[in-house]
Structures are given as structure tokens and as C-alpha cells.
Structure 1
């Protein structure tokens, strides 16, 4: 067996006024707990260092840039990297990235056990809108503050397996998992910050939101025979509630561990990467069973185009 013991490190709410140093201290506490429980890898949420700032409408570029990291690691996050290296534990977490040439991305990284960054992913499926929308119960301005990711869906040889990443809304799109599945991915790490209520449909509350969340994860895991580690930011951030729902899903699509609270909480599971082989060699043996001659619409068009009458 190739067993990777994984800690899914959910973060409770981060208020707008809370500094990065305070958040990093919370992350280190979870990391220490994970190391004590034998974890090889700890996965943190999307935009782990700050509140979910895309809920706030901003027009001043300088104000917007205060939420972004220009280098990684930096002064605020170096203690996290140092502690992970001391403990010999790999980490993955999300943050807002500003590149040297001024581009803005919703980014996630993976390190090895020595604290070196070995993988980077930039969120591709950006939800929400770009201008203030008075018809929404609250704003979700990812399209205002981020550009669509430009790195595709890479898979890395790391930690003894084939590792991939995606972020939040990416989990709802089957193409996300399939592109990584076609590279043999054995574990997908994903952080998310999901509001408990749909801003455009008030009767879609936390029960429905959690159902769709798990449905997407379990289908992606099963249809590509991969582990999925999905880690939330949860709880009430300045009056805006995030639903939580941190889970670890096995290659059969079964939830094998999940959080019970909306606070800082660690769940741990030993993930046998060899458990991905059966599905990849049988029902989802892509080489034997895929019929790409019939899939052209998937990459040739975006919107729906009904057939001619």
C-alpha cells in the first residue's frame, strides 16, 4: 500500500479585521495537531489567510491589493512554512495571488515535506459577477477581483503519488476532475468558501448547498477513481455565513471522514493511493472505454445550442 495520512484542516470564520498573523497562528495549531496524529499532508481552505473578501465591493486598486500576496512564502506565512518543514509535513492552502506583472489569481499551492513549493494551481471556474448587483442578497465578486486561471489542471508527482488541485466552484464542473483523471490523478486537494444561502435564490439554503457540494465531490471521485480532500472555511464572517462541509472522499465516491463543527477542526484519514487502481483499471479504464469521437461539443462550444428544428 502507498498510504498517505491526510489532515483536512477546516478553518472557522476569519473576520475582516483579523490579521494574517492571527490566522497563521491558527493554521500552525492545526498543523501541530495533524503532525501529532501522524499526518503526511495537511490541506487548508481556499483564501485561507483572510476573510472571503470578494463579498465586499471595492473600487480602489490599492485597497484591493491589500488582500493579495505578492510573494509566497512572505513574512506573514514564513512561520507556517518553517513549522511544516520542522515537522516534516507537506501543506496545501489557498490565497489571493498578485503576480510580478500585475495579474490577480485565486491560487492554491502544494509543498513537499521540506517546505518547498512543488505545485501551483490557479482557479479556473470563477463564479459570481464583476459589478455591484443590487438584486443579490449579498455580493460575490470573484469575477471582479480575479482572472481565470492560466495554468490548466496540472497533476504532479509528489508525496509518492499523483496529486492535483482545484478550488471551490471548480468542484461543480466534471471537466475539472476528468482532465486530472486523464493524467492519472490519485488525490485532488480542494479548498472552498461557500455561502450557506444562494444569493440569487433565498430558498436554497444550507441543506441543499451541502447536498450539491457532496454530490459534486463524490461523483468526481468515483468517476475518476481518485481521493478528494475538500476543506472549508466555515461559520459567520462579519454577518455572512459559510456552510462548512469539510470531507474526505474515497475513490469509490464514499465520504470516509467529515467535520462536525463550523470552527477550526481537523479530520484525519489514511488514504491508500493504491485504492485508486481498481476503478482506473476496470469501469473507468479510459483507454479501453472512452469514445472521444463523440465528445467534440465539450471543447468546441461554451453556451447551450439546441439542435435545429
Structure 2
């Protein structure tokens, strides 16, 4: 028995600061048309798919960053993407900067079903970086300045024939991200990322090690929760700031089954059997039989490290 969801991981190459929403949406539509030709049911785009990675720029007045945010979704600039998805009968997920009616700012992603309806929203919880300008860094990473930590938790939605969850970029490095969704039976986690090719704190940590940590995190999350993970990059040189690639699909055994080469716009299409998640969920990661929550209290009782006396 199998339940196949054919997924297109749609990497975006660099988005320059001067590029308009309309230009970016046109690129996303082109990738969707390519995915449709390859019989994809569901397309996944990166974090902050509509803009450059603007948290690399410091504004003394943080409101000066508001033009990068979307006050409604869909809006007139993004509606053509929704129209094309409906025409193709394709679900989609993409990330964007969200400005709420209450004036809150989140790094968000949405899940859209094959009818064009937004069925899920996720707001990034594990925000990396810093709040104020840091002259010791090779580059600025000001997500903590421009975004608030997500307030929706890690929900999972029953849609497109399976149980699908979302996370964003740095979330993939935290095992709690996957486990909270795993405890809801998640069968596929989709995520977008914009990851600099060099660690701003440690210049010696370059592209090879960054990609190693990326793959390690995603493969571990997939294996330890017996789920598919679709991780999609925005990559390349954005106004002199380089983002790594590493768009890939990992199966429930933690194996990379497809990885996109290069840093340009492109897709990989993978038929994902959601029933392939069952073996792990019914054996080594049968949580109901094997978890011992009486010993896990520190995970939620404390934030930082508490050393023994």
C-alpha cells in the first residue's frame, strides 16, 4: 500500500535588493510550470521567498524595514502565484515576512492546498542572530531585530492526503522542532532556508562545514521521527552576500534521496510515499511504547544549561 505525494523542491537563486515582487513571483511561476510538467502535486519554496534576505541590513529605525513585509496574503503582487497554483491543481508552501494587522512582525510560511486555500501558517520560533549592530561580525544577521519569535507552535495539518508540518531555516537545527511535530504523527516536514555560506562568528567555518551541519540536522530529524523532510534553499550571491544551496529531500530512514546541484533557480521532483513513514513509527520510534517522559522534564523546565553541583 502506498500514498504518493509528488513534491517539487523549488530552489530560488539570489534575489537582489532591487528586484521587485512581480519579478520574483514570475520566477516562482516558472518553477511551478516546470514542476507541473514533471507531474508534481506539491511545490515548496524557500524562506523569505518574495524578497532578498533583508535582515543582513541594519536600520536604526526598525520600521524602515517594513517595506519588506507583507500586510496581507495573498496580496495583489502575489495573487498570480496563487492563480497559477489553482490552475495547476498544485499545493504549495513558501516563506515571507509577515506584518500582522496588530503591527507584529514574523518570519512566516504558509501551506496552501490544491484548491488554493491557505490551510496552515507557521511563524519561525528559533530566531538566530542578534538585535543591535555588531561590528565584530563578518556580516550582520538581524532577525532578532526585525522579527518576533513565532507564537503558533509547531502545528501539523491533515491535507493533500497526509500529515504535513512546517518549520523555517534555523528551526531545522533543533530536535524539539521535529519531535513536537512527530508527536502529532507528522509524515512530511517542509522547510525553507536562507543560510549564509560562512559563519559570521567564525570565518573558518565555510561552505563545506555549513552544508554538513545542514544535512546532519535534516537527516537526523527525518530519521528520529520517521518522516520525509523537504528542505529548500535560497542560494547564491545577493548584493555581495553569499547564501549556500543544499536543497534536498530526505526519506524517513534519514537518507538523502535527491539533492539539487548549484545555486540557481531549479527544482528536484520526488515521489514521496507517505506510507513509508509507518515502519519507523511502528518500531524503533513507536513513541507510545518507548518514550519515557518522566525523565525529560529539563527539556521544558529550563532554557539554559544548569550544571550539576
Measured against the shorter chain, the TM-score band is over 0.9
1:175 is matched with: 176
Shift of 1:15: 0.4
1:22-41 CA deviation, whole Å, 9 max, x = no partner? 00000000000001110000
Shift of 1:61: 4.2
1:27-66 CA deviation, whole Å, 9 max, x = no partner? 0000000011100000000000000000000123442110
2:102 is matched with: 101
CA–CA distance in structure 2, aligned partners of residues 217 and 80 of structure 1: 28
Distance 1:64 1:182, change over 3 A: same
CA–CA distance in structure 2, aligned partners of residues 63 and 10 of structure 1: 28
CA–CA distance in structure 2, aligned partners of residues 197 and 223 of structure 1: 28
CA–CA distance in structure 2, aligned partners of residues 207 and 122 of structure 1: 29
2:304 is matched with: 303
CA–CA distance in structure 1, aligned partners of residues 146 and 116 of structure 2: 29
CA–CA distance in structure 1, aligned partners of residues 300 and 63 of structure 2: 37
1:155 is matched with: 156
C-alpha contact 2:62 2:146 (8 A) present in aligned 1 = no
Bigger drift between 59-68 and 256-265 goes to 59-68
CA–CA distance in structure 1, aligned partners of residues 5 and 122 of structure 2: 21
1:82-129 CA deviation, whole Å, 9 max, x = no partner? 000011001100000000000000000010101110010000000000
CA–CA distance in structure 1, aligned partners of residues 185 and 28 of structure 2: 30
CA–CA distance in structure 2, aligned partners of residues 100 and 226 of structure 1: 35
2:249 is matched with: 248
CA–CA distance in structure 2, aligned partners of residues 108 and 59 of structure 1: 27
Equivalent residues, number: 308
1:238 is matched with: 239
CA–CA distance in structure 1, aligned partners of residues 144 and 166 of structure 2: 20
1:69 is matched with: 70
2:35 is matched with: 34
Q: What are the within-5 Å matches in structure 2 for residues 1-309 of structure 1?
A: 1-308=2-309
CA–CA distance in structure 1, aligned partners of residues 225 and 243 of structure 2: 28
CA–CA distance in structure 1, aligned partners of residues 36 and 218 of structure 2: 26
CA–CA distance in structure 2, aligned partners of residues 83 and 246 of structure 1: 23
CA–CA distance in structure 2, aligned partners of residues 233 and 61 of structure 1: 24
C-alpha contact 2:219 2:255 (8 A) present in aligned 1 = yes
CA–CA distance in structure 2, aligned partners of residues 206 and 261 of structure 1: 13
TM-score, length-normalised on structure 2?
0.99
TM-score, length-normalised on structure 1?
0.99
Shift of 1:228: 0.1
Task: List gaps (5 residues or longer) in structure 2.
Answer: none
- 4+ long deviations beyond 3 Å: none
Distance 1:200 1:61, change over 3 A: closer
Task: List gaps (5 residues or longer) in structure 1.
Answer: none
